[in-house]
Amino acid sequence: MMETLHANGRTLAYVNLPSSGDDNRPSLIFLCGFHSSMEGIKALAFEDYCRSRGLSFTRFDYSGHGSSSGDFEAGCIGDWLVDTLAIFDHLMSPPCIVLGSSMGAWIGLLLARLRKPMISGFVGISSAPDFTERQIRMALSSRQQEELQRFGRTSFPSCYEDGLPYPITSRLIDDGVRHRVMGNTIPLDCPVRLVHGTADQEIPWQTAVELAGYIASDDLTITLIKDGDHRLSARPHLNRIFSIVDGLVANG
Rounded Cα distance, 7 and 61, in Å: 13
Catalytic residue chosen out of the listed positions 102, 120, 127, 233: 102
Q: What is the pLDDT of residues 91-101, one digit of tens each?
A: 999 999 999 99
Active site residue 130: no
Angle ∠(163,166,167) on CA atoms, nearest 5 = 150
| Cβ atoms of 136 and 187 closer than 8 Å | no
| Cβ atoms of 86 and 60 closer than 8 Å | no
Catalytic residue chosen out of the listed positions 83, 230, 233, 237: 230
Sketch the domain layout of the chain as residue ranges: 2-129+182-250
pTM recorded for the entire structure: 0.96
Active site residue 200: yes
2-129+182-250 folds as Rossmann fold (3.40.50)
Catalytic residue chosen out of the listed positions 83, 126, 200, 237: 200
> Given this model, what pLDDT does residue 160 score?
55
Q: What is the pLDDT of residues 178-220, one digit of tens each?
A: 999 999 999 999 999 999 999 999 999 999 999 999 999 999 9
Rounded Cα distance, 9 and 136, in Å: 29
Rounded Cα distance, 158 and 213, in Å: 29
